[in-house]
Structure 1
Amino acid sequence: MNPRPRPPSGKPLGFPTPPSAVLPPRGRATGRVLVVGGSEEYAGAPYLAGIAALRAGAESVVVMAPEQVAWAINALSPDLMTRKLPGRWLSRAHERAIRRMMKTADILLVGNGAGVLPGTAALMRSLMLSPLPKVVDADALKVLRGNAVRNAILTPNAGEWALLEKNNDIEKLLAAKNVIVRKGPATAILSGTRTFIVRANEGLQKAGTGDVLAGMIAGFLAAGLSPLAAAKKACETGNTVADILTKKKRGYHFLASDLAGELVSFSSGKSGKGAA
């Protein structure tokens, strides 16, 4: 058999430069995100969060939601896996199935579009006690009581922040190594005794953009960033993408789905992994 002809450089012909030679490293390959949310009224929230998590670096995303919500998500995206739970709302009856799935997940994202019915609230409070790294968003923030959450990134808007302050001790939440992303015209990221202020594009006040932010944070966590680094990078990335969309649309006319669709997957990098 004749040997493969070689160019003067000595490299075999016919083999283009592999992608790994020109692209940044992907980071660890075990970033599995579990999204628990959705209800009869809010099917879009867990979809937006799940897509954002994938684009931010998660290797896979499973959404556990009431069955009609899960079917709707399947119709919206072939990239998201779903587990269909019986009924129209989440409840404690679903906890055993959810905890089984949590054993295969690296990151938990809870609250998006879940609603605050008593059974749903009880389920979310129980799930938030898990030691799994987690993002607590939307309706899960509304029902959080007594500082009973650790190893979490909390992402309240102004109304959710008011409830968080009323029902919990913010200093104790921060002392428990949680990070809080207080969304607003100037977003504040709280970690321990430190506060970081991040500019927020005005278009990010639209409904659904918070679900995209929560998904990005979960995705960056899954890619290996520390909680603080993931929160910072998600806020900065969201602003950058919103600025791009503002120019494209000639104003703040973009939707949360536009934001999720415009996201690109950024390398997590090594520098953020050790950030406290």
Structure 2
Amino acid sequence: VALAGLAALRASCDLVTIYAPDKVAWAINKYTPDLMTHKIKASFTVKLAKEMVKNIEKFDAVLVGNGITRKADKFCGYFVRKSTKLKVVDADGLKSLGFRDFNNSIVTPHAKELEMMLVNSKKEFLLPKLRASNTKEKAEILQGNLRYFLQNNNVLLLKGPTDIIISRNKIAFNRTGNQGMTKGGTGDVLAGLAVGFLAKTGDLFKSAAAAAFVNGFVGDLLLKQKKGYTFIASDIIEDLEKIQGMEKKFKRAKKRAEKKAAASKPVKKKVAKKKVVKKKASKKKSSKRKK
């Protein structure tokens, strides 16, 4: 959860507060001075969820699920259903929920968590189709069969070799990233980036797509720097300071690609149109004789 908080700060959040059990919160305080903590005395129960739904109104966006464990299923269920705040739901926060439980959320499952959510939603009939589909087909199947979820102002960010980002009327694919990003903690960094961008922009789809791209892009940079898969999640946090430089590079690359695409298009020769000039017959005035 500390990795997620630090990633949110790197995504330009001004303040990040982590609500955690007393011992965990003190450990986070010792780990880094950059994160504020709210120390929870009670366990993660429905009663606590009711209190937190009221308490989070002062925040722009909320992340729930990272490191919370399956013991907090009822807490997560109540909180996700009742809170209308912009939020990111990740990890153990997803495993007991179905797609009808969400509102105003970026939901970030990997393949196994997606299967659990489909079973919880009584949509397990989709599993054989999804397993036999390529990335594009998978995105179309999910968009077509999760209409209620998507129309309720939610975005699905399905993590994988190619990340799939789906909203009600958009689909995007992110191909940045590498095999080294299957390590523990990289998903927490992704969730932290998503909630950080969401707090800044308020745009669910753009925040999810940007988080997937940036997380994978930094992972690719580290793969080159370390010359292998020896990097860890905290290395991604450290290198996220390069986001500004990456943004400029990305814009330049986009412009070059647009110019290249424009240059490769066949130029249509303009055929000069011949003007046809019609001569009007001159009317001869009949001369009137005077009598």
Query: TM-score surpassing 0.5?
Result: yes
Q: Secondary structure at the match of 1:60?
A: coil
2:77 alignment partner in structure 1: 125
Deviation at 1:176, TM superposition (A): 1.4
Matched, 1:80 2:56: no
1:194 alignment partner in structure 2: 170
Deviation at 1:213, TM superposition (A): 0.2
From 237, 242, 254, give the equivalent of 1:260: 237
Cα shift readout 1:66-92 (whole Å, capped 9, x = no counterpart): 1111111111110100011125x5223
Deviation at 1:97, TM superposition (A): 4.3
How many angstroms apart in 2 are the aligned matches of 1:177 and 1:96?
A: 22
Q: Give aligned-pair identity as a percent.
A: 38
Gaps of 5+ in 1: 1-45, 270-276
Cα shift readout 1:233-255 (whole Å, capped 9, x = no counterpart): 11111111111111111111111
Where in structure 2 are the equivalents of 1:226-245 lying within 5 Å? 226-245=203-222
Larger relative contact order (C-alpha < 8 A, sep ≥ 6)?
Answer: 1
Alignment: residue pair count: 220
Gaps of 5+ in 2: 124-145, 248-291
The higher radius of gyration belongs to 2
From 49, 55, 60, give the equivalent of 1:101: 55
Q: Secondary structure at the match of 1:147?
A: helix
Q: Is the 8 A contact 1:85 1:94 kept in 2?
A: no
Where in structure 2 are the equivalents of 1:209-224 lying within 5 Å? 209-224=186-201
From 143, 154, 157, give the equivalent of 2:96: 143
Q: Structure 2-normalised TM-score?
A: 0.71
AA aligned opposite 1:145: G
| Greater Cα offset, 127-136 or 190-199 | 190-199
Compared CA separation, residues 226 and 85, structure 1 to 2 (3 A): same
Q: Is the 8 A contact 1:154 1:179 kept in 2?
A: yes
Q: Secondary structure at the match of 2:160?
A: coil
From 133, 146, 161, give the equivalent of 1:185: 161
Cα shift readout 1:174-229 (whole Å, capped 9, x = no counterpart): 22121000001111111114321111322221111111000000000111151111
Deviation at 1:101, TM superposition (A): 2.8
How many angstroms apart in 2 are the aligned matches of 1:205 and 1:177?
A: 29
How many angstroms apart in 2 are the aligned matches of 1:204 and 1:72?
A: 25
Deviation at 1:53, TM superposition (A): 0.5
Q: Is the 8 A contact 2:99 2:118 kept in 1?
A: no
Matched, 1:164 2:117: yes
Q: Is the 8 A contact 1:55 1:265 kept in 2?
A: no
Higher helix share: 2
Q: Which runs of 4+ in 1 moved over 3 A?
A: none
From 58, 68, 81, give the equivalent of 1:114: 68
Q: Is the 8 A contact 2:219 2:236 kept in 1?
A: yes
| RMSD of Structure 2 on Structure 1 (CA) | 1.8
